[in-house]
């Protein structure tokens, strides 16, 4: 009798389906949770009037630097990334602070991501090796039983 499932048999088992549902549930929770957190951060520290650098040209007068503990708590621009730069708007000649992304921070995040991917690669390689050994053991036992039955 042929199975109703059109995908490989291993994916039709309830345990595999539950693991898939759990995995994709966690992935979607992570993605939507991150989106909600970033939305809350941007709406909480939003000023009533847009800063001048949003609607006019500006010149960076102080490069991107890490915020101090006091600045991180009191300045809205520090709350987003933890780094700020001072900009001078050309038309209004105002000095304002703008959130920025530091190259040091980006490099640190990149290497954290690379380390996580390396760790996951090693973990899944070990899982594949263990699974292959288990399947080889089952196949050898099956062959042994067939030979013994002759």
pLDDT at 147: 93
pLDDT at 71: 86
Domains of the chain, by residue range, sit at 8-44, 49-101, 103-150
pLDDT at 90: 83
The answer to whether 66 and 102 are in contact (CB under 8 A) is yes
pLDDT at 49: 73
Which tens digit of pLDDT belongs to each residue from 29-72? 776 776 666 655 555 455 567 787 778 888 888 888 888 888 88
Q: Please give the Cα distance from 103 to 19 (Å, whole number).
A: 38
- Decide if pLDDT at 139 tops 60: yes
CATH number for 49-101 (one of 3.30.720.220, 2.170.190.11, 2.40.30.10, 3.55.50.30): it is 3.30.720.220
pTM exceeds 0.75: no
């Amino acid at each position: 009798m042929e199975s109703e499932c059109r995908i490989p048999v291993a994916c039709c088992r309830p345990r595999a389906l539950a693991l898939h549902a759990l995995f994709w549930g966690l992935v979607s929770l992570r993605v939507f949770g991150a989106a909600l957190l970033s939305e809350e951060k941007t709406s909480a520290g939003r000023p009533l009037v847009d800063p001048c650098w949003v609607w006019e040209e500006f010149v960076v007068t102080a490069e991107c630097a890490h915020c101090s503990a006091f600045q991180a708590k009191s300045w809205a621009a520090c709350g987003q990334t933890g780094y700020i730069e001072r900009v001078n708007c050309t038309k209004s000649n105002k000095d304002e602070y703008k959130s920025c992304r530091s190259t040091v921070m980006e490099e640190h995040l990149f290497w954290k991501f690379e380390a996580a991917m390396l760790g996951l690669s090693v973990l899944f390689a070990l899982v594949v090796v263990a699974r292959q050994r288990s399947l080889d053991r089952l196949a050898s036992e099956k062959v042994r039983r067939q030979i013994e039955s002759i």
